[in-house]
Amino acid sequence: MTYESLKASIRDIPDYPKPGIVFKDITTLLKDKSAFRMAQQALTERYRSVPVDLVAAVEARGFIFGGALALTLGCGFIPLRKPGKLPAESLSEPYALEYGTDEIHMHRDAVLRDQRVLLIDDLLATGGTLSAAARLVEKAGGVVAGIGVVIELAFLEGRHRLRDYDVFAVVTYDSE
């Protein structure tokens, strides 16, 4: 089954967040109940037979798909958060932004040794955030069971940075 038809529900926002960038807006997909269900079903089908102990998703849009997927797969859920959001002792990993760096955080007790963790986000662009998320899981002793996203911007070659992992995208854009 192909999910290319979902692209009709994803809105292009030209020059956002800055001139020359075309932002893929998934809020139009989310508010369309058929499109949202189809996108989620694609993730479910892909991971239904993969052994997974926990689904970890990246704040904030990743939570929309990751929480639902954890429930469907019968897993626990781990929020991967921006700095200053988690109340207990946390691990962190930096990742590069265009100018400077940011960090992603996870509670130290979120993952037990050898637990299999599926990483979910809405978008794969350069792969910086998801690469940091994978290092975070491994730092805690977990195993990355896969990386799943709704949208892949393939022309940014994020998959190359994630080449050590199994990466799945529901829909892929080969050019802007």
Concerning whether 93 is annotated as a catalytic residue, the answer is no
Q: For a second copy, which residue of 7, 30, 126, 165 counts as binding (CB under 8 A)? A: 30
Q: For a second copy, which residue of 107, 116, 135, 159 counts as binding (CB under 8 A)? A: 107
Q: For a second copy, which residue of 6, 10, 42, 86 counts as binding (CB under 8 A)? A: 86
Would you count residue 110 as binding a second copy (CB under 8 A)? yes
Whole-angstrom distance, CA of residue 75 vs CA of residue 4: 28
Would you count residue 127 as binding a second copy (CB under 8 A)? no
171 close to 151: Cβ distance less than 8 angstroms: yes
Q: Please, what is the minimum distance in Å from the beta carbon of residue 148 to a second copy?
A: 15
- Pattern 51-80, a second copy, x by CB under 8 A: ---x----xxx-xxxxxx-xx--xxxxxx-
Helix axes 61-73, 33-47, angle to 10 degrees: 60
Would you count residue 38 as binding a second copy (CB under 8 A)? no
Concerning whether 98 is annotated as a catalytic residue, the answer is yes
Q: Which residues bind a second copy (CB under 8 A)?
A: 11, 13, 16-17, 23, 25, 27, 30-33, 36-37, 40, 54, 59-61, 63-68, 70-71, 74-79, 81, 85-88, 107, 110
- Could you list the active site residues? 61, 98
